[in-house]
Chain A
Amino acid sequence: MFTTGSKLLIGSSVFAMVAAVVYGVTQNEALGIVGLVSAACALAFLAGVNVWAVDSNLSAVNATAVATSEASDDPPGASIWPMVFAVGAAAVLLGLVTQQSIFTIGIIVLLAAGAQWAVQAWAESASNDSTTNAAVRGRLANPLEYPLLGAVAVGSIAYALSRVMLWLSKTNTIIAFVTLATVLACIGFIFAARPSVKRGAIGGVLTLGAVAIVAGGVAAGVDGERDIHVHETIAADAALFCDSPAEFEIDEGASQTVSTKASTYTISLTAAGNLVFDVPGPVDAGAEAISLRRSNPNNIVFRNDSGEARRLTLDLGPAAVEEGVAAAEDGHSADGGDSADEEHGDKSDRNLTCTSLVEDGGAQLITVKFDEPSFAYADDAQAFRFYVPGTDAEIDVVVP
């Protein structure tokens, strides 16, 4: 019989080993893994010493029980766990030379099989009564087995569902899961309305459903995910997007990306086509140049009241030239077929950043940072200025 102390040490050792595996997979950092594995080994050693020195000496733990019980003298029964243990060991060896994931799975299988094997062997020797032995085993193992198996089952179903979701088209995904939710609700309603339905029938239906979902997930996983479109971003080709008044894919729903915080500056494009800015305090509001700080993220809200969709662009000076990089790629044509790089290709040598195309009445936040003062570009008339492509509106920026 394991004493409470031994259970604590064994549990702690297993926990430390699981933590080492989880840490290793997620962090991939040696020092933490070494520490956790060392802790697991130390705890396992202490557990072994405890089992050998204390737990094996049943007479010392419960002399009366030993004197009055009829210890089992049957040979150990057949067990599947040695085979599973061997599979785990093989997976560990295989994983060492192939993939980390196989190694991780092997470690988990090895630990689980070893624990089950040990518990079974220990329970079979508890008494000559197999029913009692089974109860003893269940009392020790079930509190661990049920939550773990439940988590594995739920995780498998959820993962299978996610595979199916990624396999179906967007529209079919909605239809499929609305249907699935409806079916589940109906089944639940039927079971609730008819308490006389046998438990076996309920279990059968649920098992069938779970198997169907997992099978669907496997099939969907094998077939692969649907094509998921990656949206363009301004950072991908700022020179192309920022100097164009045309609409690109990145401009969809621009105002929905506004995270307007309090206490920021505002630059507005008026109906008259002028750029004006608003800052806390009356003195420099509306001046010809806006003063922004160096080496500091400046949050600015661009508000478009011009009557047309417009973007706000900031020219930060000449871009660093990278050898072999094309000025602007084809394929980013605007509505109507005019390619923006044809119209504004001369801006590709500028370091630009901008908002998305903001519809009339909309607003969007742009965060800009200046690493150098504006006097570093005193000879460059275009540097450090906000402008609106397609209009003459512009405003200079002074960075002290």
Chain B
Amino acid sequence: MTYDLNMSHQSPTTKMQAVETTTTLRSVTSSRLVRTLVACSLAALVAGCATDAPQDTWQPKGPNSQMINDLDWVVFGIAGVVGVVVFSVLAFAIWKYRDRGQPIPEQTHGKPALEIGLTILPALILVGIAIPTVGTIMDLNETADTECIVNVTGQQWWWEIDYPVQDGCGGIDEPIVTSGQMVIEAGTKVLVRGTSRDVIHSWWIPSLNGKRDMVPGRIHTVRLEADEPGIFAGQCTEFCGLSHANMRMEVIAMNTADFAVWKSNQTQDYVAPAVGSLAAEGESTFISQCSRCHQVDGLTDSNDELIISRPDQNVWSGAAPNLSNLMTRNTFAGASWDLLSKQCRPGVWDADPSTIGAAYLDGVTETCLNEVELREWLRNAPAKKPMYADPELLEETDGLVRGMPYLALSEDQIDQLVAYLLERK
């Protein structure tokens, strides 16, 4: 089909109408474009005023993020002045020397003084920015004054957090392993030693410090310190596969006494469910279905032998979350979902600094359990969180799963597991 774009065969009246129509259309289109741009700009502006923004980089809650924030203001201040000057000069030149039909002025070439000046000036500005920037980077990389070591290990798509034996952190006599939520003592300089088991991940708690890539085979460090007790959200910031967006984490800062209680809770001996209870049936189900990958410290088999999980034989990354104290945490599945119900969550997350530690230590009770989503997860984990559930995609990993596979659990088994997990405190 051919469209006749030539209006030469049309009458003058028709041509005039066509021109008017085109002008009107352009005007409408231009107007819509302007309105859209203004609306987008306003939306972006208003977004900056959000109060419920746990990952806001402009709300530092510790000295390390405060250092970054202070540097930001210096850099943005200098960049702002430069931007205003450049755009003002540009706008003035465009307006002053706009085309009004005047003859083209005499063209000259070369202004050595101006060119040298415009080279030296930006160099001086960059030096001015570099001095505080380098100083801040060096301060943020300082490890000598840290008081507590926490190891984090990234894998698709959750963070393992372990506390090695040390005199720091108020003293840790046996290793503590948890996942998704890192508990620290407020006011303590924590050194995070991070790495990855599979692909590159990035650890970022915006309120407490900047990002740090976690690279397989390397140990990267990042400092964390919270001014006061609170929950500080973060997220993996290096694309790491299908569920990258679901790889979250939190840092929970609490006072010294609460932190001591938390450490003690994490190293309690295993308490088996009461004989004949639903949780006891859940223990059997856990052993048969879950213990291949998930470790529960102290869990024994019928021969009273310790059950040692072997995630390296089942999971591509070689690890699965330790569930010994699952219900002392607030989240599960890579901190993507709450273990606390919507009714109970604000009691912890919105608690003031003086009570948040105690509220967190209460853990997840039967009445506060987010049973719906935990059941959904147990019923079909890949349906809830994309994890390469297609068996054909497992060929390249020799059959090893990424994330938690579909286990085809019956509803009875799910009931049993929920009852069993609820006792993992």
Contacts and interface: CB of A to CB of B under 8 A. Distances in A.
Interface of A: 261-265, 279-284, 287, 289, 291, 293-297, 299, 367, 371-373, 375-376, 398, 400
A282 B144 CA distance: 6
- Please list the 10 inter-chain residue pairs (A to B) with the smallest Cβ-Cβ separation, ordered nearest first: A295-B318, A291-B164, A283-B168, A400-B175, A284-B166, A281-B191, A263-B218, A376-B308, A263-B219, A371-B312
Interface residues of B, number: 40
The prevalent SS among residues of A at the interface is loop
A279 B195 CA distance: 13
A49 B250 CA distance: 68
Nearest to B219: A263
Interface in B175-231: 175-177, 191, 193, 195, 197, 216-221
9 contacts: A261-B217, A280-B193, A281-B149, A289-B165, A295-B319, A296-B319, A299-B218, A375-B306, A376-B308
A371 B295 contact: no
B199 to A, nearest CB: 13
Nearest to A396: B165
A262 B218 contact: yes
B146 A281 contact: yes
A375 B220 CA distance: 27
A31 to B, nearest CB: 14
B168 A373 contact: no
Nearest to A281: B191
Nearest to A299: B217
Contacts, number: 94
B162 interface: yes
B317 interface: yes
A284 B164 contact: yes
B151 interface: yes
Given A284-B168, A291-B165, A372-B310, 14 more contacts: A263-B220, A264-B218, A280-B193, A280-B221, A281-B143, A281-B221, A283-B147, A287-B165, A289-B165, A291-B162, A294-B319, A373-B308, A376-B308, A400-B164
Nearest to A262: B218
Given A283-B146, A283-B149, A398 B175 contact: yes
B311 interface: yes
B153 interface: yes
B162 A293 contact: yes
Contacts of B221: 263, 280-281
Contacts of B197: 295-296
A299 B146 CA distance: 23
B187 to A, nearest CB: 16
A371 B168 CA distance: 27
B144 A400 contact: no
B162 A284 contact: no
A287 B193 contact: no
